[in-house]
Amino acid sequence: MAERFDLTDLRLFLHVADASNITRGALRANMTLASASERIRDMEVDLGTPLLVRKRRGVELTAAGTALLHHARLVIQQLEHMRGELNDYAKGLRAQVHVRSNTMGISVFLPARLARFLSAHPNIDVDLEEGRSRDIVRAVAAGKVEIGIVAEGLEAAAELETMPVGEYRFVLVVPLRHQLARCRKIPFKEVLDYDLVGLRAETAWQDFLNEQAKRAGKRLKLRVRLDGFDSICRVVENRIGLAIVPEPVARRWTSKLRIIPLDEVWALRHLTLCVRKLASLSPHAQNLVKYLTKSPPARKPVP
């Protein structure tokens, strides 16, 4: 029987496969669950073989599903190449670049550069997701994501093309009248004597801090866990605890919080951009890589 797949079918199947769940895949494809399920059943009927194994908590790919996933990715990637090459002739045809970043990339690095890129390229959309660095490297290697922003020094990234994109420093923020406010710098071990505010337990950064505390022979005394660094700074301002945050975030709170450098080598962090193969990316994705890897404009000093 002849296969009658269209691009909507292929995009839906990619979303379902990446999410390992038809419901979440349908949501990412902006479809109802009933419509998504019907499309996948029609694909299976056309092929004459199951593509998914339905389970109570999601789906798994069959051998045929794995093969279709590979070809679907190639088709979508080729479409992105076509869109880039025809951009001058088809202004109404929008393109999309898939980016996955760790927490620090999203909090510190990407917002300003993505804003400049999107402003200069109104026909390009960026699908940005947050994840752990190791998971991002695997996703890029598998072709699920075109561009990844990850922490430095991941051995798994050695098989990918990588390039440095920026650095940032972690600092301690305390209320203006806190007893530590006069400190010029502070060892992490001394910070562990105080109540802290941090990110949720599943974040890679919080795992890293837990490991540093363990090496110092102590434990983090977390009173509150939140989703973002600005929320953390707001809570610190209300004297609920102290926090370690990226310096660029802390600078937004200089009128309300005291910034104290951490006297630790690991406080200086680097971000790395990784791709499977730069030459094989769509023209739009290659252009975004150029934006993300070029030096940002000089930052004015904080008065």
Q: Are residues 208 and 147 in the same domain?
A: no
Q: Would you list the DSSP string of the chain?
A: ------HHHHHHHHHHHHHT-HHHHHHHTT--HHHHHHHHHHHHHHHTS-SEEEETTEEEE-HHHHHHHHHHHHHHHHHHHHHHHTTTT-TT--EEEEEEE-HHIIIIIHHHHHHHHHHH-TTEEEEEEE--HHHHHHHHHTTS-SEEEEETT-GGGGGSEEEEEEEEEEEEEEETTSTTTT-S-B-HHHHTTS-EEEE-TTSHHHHHHHHHHHHTT----EEEEES-HHHHHHHHHTTS-BEEEEHHHHGGGTTTEEEEEB--GGGEEEEEEEES-GGGS-HHHHHHHHHHHSPPPPPPPP-
Q: What is the pLDDT of residue 196?
A: 94
- Domain boundaries, position 235: 167-268
pLDDT at res. 4: 67
Domain identity same for 285 and 155: yes
Residue 302 belongs to a domain: no
Mean pLDDT per segment of 10 residues, for the chain of length 303 residues? Answer: 71 91 91 92 90 90 90 82 61 74 87 90 87 89 90 73 89 94 94 92 81 91 90 93 92 93 92 90 89 66 40
**Same domain for 185 and 153?**
no
Question: pTM value?
Answer: 0.63
Domain assignment present for 298: no
Residues 43 and 108 in one domain: no
Q: Quick one: pLDDT at residue 87?
A: 61
Model pLDDT, residue 94: 65
